[in-house]
Structure 1
């Protein structure tokens, strides 16, 4: 009897793992649908320009600067300020140890000056511009997709349907109360993701499982970032997007997987440059992904079976609510109460 029960449990576990893997692969595949980017850029000139600007700034200037530093500047400094004594035989000892230490110190100082006066300002400049451009890319990408659905020749942010200008798709009125709720949701969302990022950083120091757990949490974080643009433009309320995300964690873990690979494969500066190039592409693939339909179609094959909801943001939610409680402004509006069906 126990053996039969154990066999049944093992069979159920294997089936669940197979379903989770398939949904993870579905998310991974959707993230890599870069052919959509070409289609959207052909539909929207503004989108093509913004995407090209991201490639130029992050690929040509930022990664190009790293390439020049490592391939030309550092080797040139090592040639001018060598580490060893030239023209001596192995039997002879170098008597200019102080000079070599001075060479090393001077070379290090010159490289640091390059970082201080070029890399760090370029990093800050690119970070600010990327933040603005990513929002534009998501906006133009969303409009390009809407244009594809409507079959119209031209579409801009000023041509939204009248009913979408007055109410969003969840029926949230854009009066003063609606605006305050929207602001409160944005503040809460920023706090939530900030604390979640801190949580991701801390998990990286856990022995043995830290790297794997870090990869999983980062995958979820980047997947949420990518889909948040679409959810904002479509008017999906914060509580619904969190519920949908946490209820379909396997799909979003797969979608965020390709986004995180650059962080683990390269050094921090290079990974930032690579990620800055790839991130807008993932934003556009997320915007074009009909995650709800994909997940529903998969569950129909499994007769509606689910995997349960994982409270991914529970710790970040707790800390965010503690911070918000320090500001007893009614504008935060029991907003976060409704959100807090977490």
Structure 2
């Protein structure tokens, strides 16, 4: 019961951190670039993308059903109804026009939105991090109050300098992309499990979006990948709570509508994570990370093993060193 209580407290804390959307307003007021990028994201994904879906469902499709009806009583000339293939032809024509609308507008807009929004998310996180540095949320304030000079030197020395440090950073990025891609496939597969599939899918999606939200901040803080994953899997109830509002907003909609809503909400949660101080002890000693009563949950166990297996098939040099660094 003590462990359950501790997990519940961390989950509620994560949910509370995700709902602190006032940080978005504060950070946007401090940075015009951030306000502009956030507004562009809302304009593209909210007004244009979701607006197009609304126009399709409210105007285009009803108009096609009026022009190309599926019942004889709705036809202008009843002679057309005598022709056996008329209604079938109308049905085929309606479907073809709708698919043409999707092929010429929605799918290109969907791809364009993904590419452009991904670039904008990075800008939003960068401008938000800079605005946070000028505000009272700054990470340096917390770090200076809690880290001793010895600990600060240890944090700064966590990655080698020079070419070796650059290569390690590139390797971490490649591994991170592969790990999260495999984890996404794992999330997708859980949706087909009977009975408990939806629950597992919701939980894994919450973790995935929470990790994405905090990853921008951890990249700017240059937190090593192994420390991120260890911290994330140690405080798994907190991140499950943080990601749950984001998933709840899209869980009951169609895929296209869900994407549009997510594309609008995701920058807000990224800024909320950027302004959060709940994860500051990620830079502290490992012994201080562990929350009392909560066991480390190997969330990325399957994706880690699959990723390492994929990397083992590649002719990479110094593979043993990479495996030792990435293995959890």
TM class by shorter-chain length? Answer: 0.7 to 0.9
The equivalent residue for 2:37 is 50
How many residue pairs get aligned? The number is 301
1:277-307 Cα deviation digits (max 9, x unpaired): 0001011101111123599xxxxxxx96231
The equivalent residue for 1:114 is 101
Q: Whole-Å Cα distance in 2 between the matches of residues 336 and 261 of structure 1? A: 36
User: What is the alpha-carbon root mean square deviation over aligned residues?
Assistant: 2.2
SS of residue in 2 equivalent to 1:206: coil
Q: Whole-Å Cα distance in 1 between the matches of residues 274 and 83 of structure 2? A: 62
The equivalent residue for 1:144 is 131
TM-score by length of 2: 0.87
Q: Whole-Å Cα distance in 2 between the matches of residues 47 and 339 of structure 1? A: 34
Q: Is the 8 A contact 2:61 2:98 kept in 1?
A: yes
Q: Is the 8 A contact 1:168 1:235 kept in 2?
A: no
Matches within 5 A, 1:208-223: 208-223=195-210
Q: Whole-Å Cα distance in 1 between the matches of residues 202 and 318 of structure 2? A: 36
* Alpha-carbon distance change, 170 to 216 in structure 1, aligned in 2, over 3 angstroms: farther
Matched, 1:238 2:225: yes
The equivalent residue for 2:254 is 267
2:4 to 12, 17, 24: 17
Q: Whole-Å Cα distance in 1 between the matches of residues 302 and 102 of structure 2? A: 36
The equivalent residue for 1:6 is none
SS of residue in 1 equivalent to 2:315: coil
Q: Is the 8 A contact 2:137 2:275 kept in 1?
A: no
Q: Is the 8 A contact 2:41 2:264 kept in 1?
A: yes
* Alpha-carbon distance change, 304 to 273 in structure 1, aligned in 2, over 3 angstroms: closer
SS of residue in 2 equivalent to 1:329: coil
Matched, 1:277 2:257: no
1:198-222 Cα deviation digits (max 9, x unpaired): 1111111111111101111111111
Q: Is the 8 A contact 1:226 1:283 kept in 2?
A: yes
The alpha carbon displacement at 1:339 in A equals 2.7
- Name stretches of at least 5 consecutive residues in structure 2 with no aligned partner: 76-80, 139-153, 283-289
The equivalent residue for 1:298 is none
The equivalent residue for 1:287 is 274
Q: Is the 8 A contact 1:181 1:332 kept in 2?
A: no
The alpha carbon displacement at 1:330 in A equals 2.8
Q: Whole-Å Cα distance in 2 between the matches of residues 183 and 331 of structure 1? A: 14
Matches within 5 A, 1:48-197: 48-86=35-73, 95-149=82-136, 169=156, 171-197=158-184
The equivalent residue for 1:155 is none
Q: Whole-Å Cα distance in 2 between the matches of residues 114 and 246 of structure 1? A: 44
SS of residue in 2 equivalent to 1:328: coil
1:216-241 Cα deviation digits (max 9, x unpaired): 11111111111110000001000000
The equivalent residue for 2:300 is 313
The equivalent residue for 1:330 is 317
SS of residue in 1 equivalent to 2:167: helix
Q: Is the 8 A contact 1:184 1:331 kept in 2?
A: no
The equivalent residue for 2:141 is none
Q: Whole-Å Cα distance in 1 between the matches of residues 291 and 267 of structure 2? A: 33
Q: Whole-Å Cα distance in 2 between the matches of residues 239 and 285 of structure 1? A: 23
Query: Which range is displaced more, 327-336 or 218-227?
Result: 327-336
* Alpha-carbon distance change, 40 to 178 in structure 1, aligned in 2, over 3 angstroms: same
